[in-house]
Structure 1
Amino acid sequence: MSSKIAEAEQHIKAAEDSLKTGLLKMRRSPDYDSAADEYAKAAAAFRAAREFKRSQQMLVKTADITANHLKNLFHAAKHLETAALLAKEVKNYEEAAEWLAKAGRMLRENGNPDSASLMLEKGAKMLEEPLPEASARLYSDSADAADIEDKVGQAAQCLGHACRMLIRAGKLDAAADVARRRVGQAGRDSNPDTLSKAVLALVVVELGRGDLVAARKAFNDSVHVSSFQTGDDCGPLQTLLEACEQMDGDRGRQALQNPVFRYMDNEFAKLARSIRLPEARQKPSAAGGAAAEAAGAGAEDAEEFDGGLC
């Protein structure tokens, strides 16, 4: 391993020499091609020695030269993607997220939105457990890239994943914003189930954050679409919304037992179970009812004679 580290340091020295100019070097401008190549070789040697942090640093240097001086954004993005994978190995998830986002921007700028979307989605998946909020941002960026290529189904799916991550992170307001974007994307997709599932998720998120008005609006804005009206989700959603509006906790709890809610993705299903419903109304027993009736009658009699006999 020490030999690999020594090899890496030789490549670093060669890269630094390539960037120097002057009469003694017989060079008026830096040799960026050679420098990028040497830094990349140093990164590979450090990686072989399992010096992942130093390998990341070399990859970032390589990406910087490749993007800013060689104007090759595609290869620069690939170097940053590799750096992000190494950052994940040493549990430096924040840097991994930063480099993946930057790589995605480079690919889009280079005219490769499809590659950007796939890379960002893969990176978002990698960060779901350790950093759900950053994962949501990458999923959202992936959706934006997919939308450039008019891949509306893929964009809606990525926004669904982003919403799921924001729910996990406890960011319900942000989740609602993303869920609304997802409905907008889904409305452009030819698959009717895409819209149905998007509206279902949005209504659950709005109810989960306690905004019944927004939940009803989300439903009403899509209920005129025939594919949604005839889908499996429309009826159970209507029942749940009516129960909430009528403060009928029993009916609401019964509605949430529908498989439509129970078999949603885990984060959405948990949020659905957390929707606050009115407590069940207590039904008086027969004896209790008679006593209450007698008490009511007594109260009426008392009111009748309240002013005395005169």
Structure 2
Amino acid sequence: MASSDPEKLMAKADKITKLSFTRWNADWKNAAVLYEQAAIAYRLAKQNEKAKIAFEKASKGQEMLSSPWDAARFMESAAAMAKELGSWNEVADFYRRASELYIECGRSQPASDALAKGARALEESMPEEAARLYVSACEILEEDEKEQMAFDLYRAAASVYIKLEKYEDAAATLLRLGLAADKSNAKNSQCKAYLSAIIVYLYTHDFKQAEKCYNDCLQTDAFMDSDQFRLASKLLSAYREGDIEEIKRVAQSSTISNLEHVIIRLARKLPTGELNAIRAEVAGEDGDELDEDNLV
């Protein structure tokens, strides 16, 4: 049957959208329907490359008809086909475009979801892009004051950064999660995020940054009253004293076990560096003023 042949459907759609001396206006209304029918037929036939192109054209058709919602849906379908083909750059581009189209509709949740789908698809092949997509997905929700919807996305971004060994980015992302949780009055998530950031800094043997992070977190009442605060205090005290066994003991606690798996793995490897330097640094800081006074 001619109408079900995707090649003929595509040819007809292309024809009625091409301007000529005899055709002054493109017929996007009928073309969009034809492109969609062709895309579905190609997908059923597992001709993914052709399905991708057809869905992309169907999306463009809906854009021309000022229907960004339908355009976004078809762009997501094109992204799914690109994923099947392993065309990772197109996966990123298509999901970003779908997100932009959802934003045009004023729909932050599906806009964020589109970026998150792209991020999950790219975690193995393009992890840095995946992390960027996760963070962008969070920002869309935060701009719409839906911080509580972004928690898992921030955790996913931090996890990708840790796998990339971009520990500063991971810690910064966890602190952003803590801030989002604070705005949402999600105290448990907030305290877990703060403790996780401290652990990341300790894993990189940056005691000074871990201590600064800890002191900054003390400004929040929720953290001061939490199990995570008490554990962080014990951990930092053990570092100051250079007590390897105590660090290992604290890292095995149930409070640590309730964190994300990537954070648990880091904690269970503590301490990762030479503790004598930290002890000397702490002793030097404590003794600076005394030494100055003793010059008399």
- What TM-score does the superposition give when structure 2 sets the normalisation length? 0.83
Aligned AA (1:17): K
1:15 correspondence with 2:10: no
Contact 1:18 1:35 in 2 (8 A): yes
Residue of structure 2 equivalent to 1:62:
58
1:249 correspondence with 2:249: no
Counterpart-to-counterpart distance in 2, 1:247 and 1:261: 20
Taking a change above 3 Å as real, the CA distance of residues 35 and 5 of structure 1, as seen in their structure-2 partners, is closer
Aligned AA (1:14): K
Structure 1 runs not aligned, ≥5 long:
282-310
Give the counterpart of 1:237 among 224, 232, 249: 232
The CA deviation string for residues 8-54 of structure 1, in whole angstroms up to 9 with x for no partner, is: 1101111121122234xx43222222222222222111111110111
Residue of structure 2 equivalent to 1:30:
26
- Percent same amino acid among aligned pairs? 26
Residue of structure 1 equivalent to 2:41:
45
The CA deviation string for residues 58-82 of structure 1, in whole angstroms up to 9 with x for no partner, is: 1112223433x22322211111111
1:161 correspondence with 2:159: no
- What TM-score does the superposition give when structure 1 sets the normalisation length? 0.79
Counterpart-to-counterpart distance in 2, 1:13 and 1:278: 65
Aligned AA (2:179): G
Counterpart-to-counterpart distance in 1, 2:43 and 2:222: 53
Residue of structure 2 equivalent to 1:100:
95
Contact 1:201 1:268 in 2 (8 A): yes
The CA deviation string for residues 177-214 of structure 1, in whole angstroms up to 9 with x for no partner, is: 32232222122121211210110121122222332222
Counterpart-to-counterpart distance in 2, 1:204 and 1:4: 64
Residue of structure 2 equivalent to 1:146:
141
Residue of structure 1 equivalent to 2:108:
113
Give the secondary structure class of the aligned counterpart of 2:46.
coil
Pick the structure with greater CA Rg.
Answer: 1
1:85 correspondence with 2:80: yes
Structure 2 runs not aligned, ≥5 long:
277-296
How far apart are 1:130 and its partner, in Å? 4.9
1:221 correspondence with 2:216: yes
Deviates more, 1:122-131 or 1:262-271: 122-131
How far apart are 1:4 and its partner, in Å? 9.5
Aligned length: 276
Aligned AA (1:272): A
Contact 1:100 1:123 in 2 (8 A): yes
